[in-house]
Amino acid sequence: MNSISTPAISRLCALYQLLGQFEQQSCVSSAELGERLGVGAHSIRKDINFLGIAGNSGAGYDVGKLRTLIAGSLGLDAPRRVCVVGLGRLGTAILQYPLGDEFQLVAGFDSNINRLETIKTTIELFPAHQISQVIRSLNIDIAFITVPADHVQDVVERLVDGGIKGIVNFAPVCIRTKSKDVFVKQMDIAGELRIISAQISVSTAL
């Protein structure tokens, strides 16, 4: 048996979130889950198999149990500590974004010290030069980057120095880290727009 693939992890996370929308007690079939997620029922079953057996051949999956199982296997039950680097409009919007109780937003950073004073929030704010030490002292796992493109590489190095484990990057530049243990997700708004635009063009050019 091979180790779990990245797309499978993504689907299981989506599944986890979907299961939260169901009644706790009910049972649900792979067919229904697949339809809701827009993937084949086969994939659902195969993905769940990576976690070990959990289904009920007669009646489908127990919603509560499956959700717990996914959470356990994927480490979703241990709440992660998160921060935001760059408190412009997008950064402050994320700072206020309701992340639920799975994630704790514990710090915000900006290089502009005046800005730190004008933002109204209960979350602790720090100047950018303290990134490394705060990441370490507050035990932060994941960072959002919402700084201008030309500051990104600098920020990344400080985050990695502080021992960050994951980065969600909203800036329109690719991130490269020395350390291979840092997981990076690109979330470039203009970039995604471009991809969709290209898909539209290519599909209509047939």
Binding stretches for DNA (CB under 7 A)? 1, 5-8, 28-31, 39-43, 45-46, 48-49, 53-61
* 190 touches, from DNA, its own copies, none (C-beta below 5 to 8 Å by class): its own copies
Task: Choose, by CB under 8 A, the member of 22, 32, 102, 119 that binds its own copies.
Answer: 102
Chain length of the chain = 206
From 22-30, 60-68, 154-162, 172-180, give the range in contact with its own copies by CB under 8 A. 172-180
Evaluate whether 106 touches 140 at the Cβ level (below 8 Å). Answer: yes
Task: For DNA, give the closer residue by CB, 41 or 168.
Answer: 41
Binding mask 121-150 for its own copies (x = CB under 8 A): --------------------xx--------
* 58 touches, from its own copies, DNA, none (C-beta below 5 to 8 Å by class): DNA
Widest pairwise Cα distance in the chain: 62
Nearest to 96 by CA among 69, 72, 121: 121
| The dihedral sign for the CA sequence 179, 182, 188, 194 | positive
Rounded Cα–Cα distance for residues 153 and 9 (Å): 28
Fill in the amino acid letter for 102: E
DSSP state of 56: B
Nearest to 138 by CA among 77, 78, 82: 82
Six token digits for residue 20: 């939260």
Least separation in angstroms between residue 127's CB and its own copies is 22
* 92 touches, from DNA, its own copies, none (C-beta below 5 to 8 Å by class): its own copies
Q: At what angle do helices 6-19 and 41-49 cross, to 10 degrees?
A: 100
Per-residue b/e over 13-43, b at no fewer than 16 CB within 10 Å? ebbbeebeebeeeebbbbeebbebbebeeeb
* 113 touches, from DNA, its own copies, none (C-beta below 5 to 8 Å by class): none
Binding mask 38-77 for its own copies (x = CB under 8 A): x-----------------------------------xxx-
Interface contacts to its own copies, rule CB under 8 A: 3-4, 6, 9-10, 12-14, 16-18, 21, 36-38, 74-76, 78, 80, 82, 89-90, 92-94, 96-97, 99-100, 102-103, 141-142, 165-168, 172-174, 176, 181, 183, 185, 187-203, 205
